[in-house]
Amino acid sequence: MQGERTPTKEASAIVTRFEQAFGGLNNGQRDAIRQGAETYVRDRTTAQQTNNAQLLAGAIAQFDNLVKQQLTAEQFATYQNNRDFYLNGRGGGQGRLVKPGMRRGQR
């Protein structure tokens, strides 16, 4: 049985979901989203431990702003419509922008 995921693994999973959904990210996008994801995971964990809904909302808003700068308008709209999937791996992840004829993870 596996234990809880570490913050690093949680952040990596977020980046992986973005890469799979949008057919890969360039190095600048990947680095920015990874750093934002690490901050989001840290703040989310603190918010959950302290039952602080305001901190959680702030963490989500901060990550949203970072992602908006890194993605196209279409990609950002897809992210917003499926935010729970990208941030937490829940919610089905509909609306992924995978290129026709390619499986997720292929470029």
Domain count along the chain? 1
Residues contacting residue 2 through CB under 8 Å, at least 6 positions apart: none
Cβ atoms 12, 46 nearer than 8 A: no
Is the pTM higher than 0.75? The answer reads yes
Q: How many CB atoms lie within 10 A of CB 25?
A: 19
Range(s) of the domain holding residue 84: 7-88
Q: How many CB atoms lie within 10 A of CB 14?
A: 23
- 66, part of any domain: yes
- 25, part of any domain: yes
Q: How many CB atoms lie within 10 A of CB 99?
A: 11
- 104, part of any domain: no
Q: What is the pLDDT along the chain (107 residues), one digit of tens a residue?
A: 455 778 899 999 999 999 999 887 899 999 999 999 999 999 999 999 999 999 999 999 999 999 999 999 999 999 999 999 999 998 765 544 444 344 444 44
Helix, strand, or coil (residue 56): helix
